Structure 1
């Protein structure tokens, strides 16, 4: 009886659970989900976009500027003054010189404010400035 229990103790000491393949599989799944996930940039405020029949989709935008119907300007989910738009755009373009600017203006926002924001973006050095619109029906 002692010999059998000694043999069992010897066998249990050599048993190990190899979790290296499990860890490898978890990392592979993590990389898969990071690569396939699409991150959507938003302005941080609820905006009702105007519709346009010629609206096209842009996938690579660096800077989103939101203008609400209450004439507030939002960049990176924070409210900024019209005088700070140029500095924010310059900073973002310094990080990514090939970046583009998309102005997401509410359809009830003031046209003069939208033009002032566009002008500040151009003065900051942005060469590609667009205005967002929802695709409308073609007549």
Structure 2
């Protein structure tokens, strides 16, 4: 009995908490959320899209070109000159040959600029160019 007490007194080691499994778990959760998060590209401007009864939701990733109500053209979140649409869309089509090009134009945007942007997209090599709309019930 005395030997047990003496051995307990001599040990007096502090208990250690192993946090390696906790760190592993945190990294696994971080990787899981990074992989499952979907990244959505936007045009970079707030647009009031026109209504259409025949609007169809596209499931495919698209190259977006935006036109604001004042006629300003945007690509990848930056305001650009209408003359550079062709070059930027050509680069994007080279990276993603199967992607559609969607022109996201405000309903108050000038029609002439919309037609010029769509024309530049087709000249850049895009096979499918469309205009983004919203369903009547959507808001």
Question: TM class, shorter-chain normalised?
Answer: 0.7 to 0.9
Q: Please name the residue that 2:10 is paired with.
A: 6
**Mean CA deviation greater in 58-67 or 105-114:** 58-67
Q: Please name the residue that 1:72 is paired with.
A: 72
Runs of 4+ in 1 over 4 A off after TM superposition: 1-5
Give the gaps of 5 or more residues in structure 2: none
Give the gaps of 5 or more residues in structure 1: none
**Mean CA deviation greater in 72-81 or 50-59:** 50-59
Q: 1:2-48 deviations in whole A, cap 9, x for unaligned?
A: 8654321xx33xx4432222122112211221233222221111111
Q: Give the structure-2-normalised TM-score.
A: 0.85
Aligned-partner SS, 1:136? coil
Counterparts of 1:69 and 1:134, CA distance in 2: 16
**Mean CA deviation greater in 75-84 or 16-25:** 16-25
Counterparts of 2:82 and 2:11, CA distance in 1: 81
Please list, as runs of the form range in 1=range in 2, the aligned pairs for 1:55-94 lying within 5 A after superposition.
Answer: 55-94=55-94
Contact 1:70 1:109 in 2 (8 A): yes
Q: Please name the residue that 1:21 is paired with.
A: 21
Say what the alpha-carbon RMSD is for the aligned residues. 1.9
Q: Give the structure-1-normalised TM-score.
A: 0.85
Counterparts of 2:122 and 2:77, CA distance in 1: 21
Counterparts of 1:72 and 1:60, CA distance in 2: 26
Q: Please name the residue that 2:104 is paired with.
A: 104
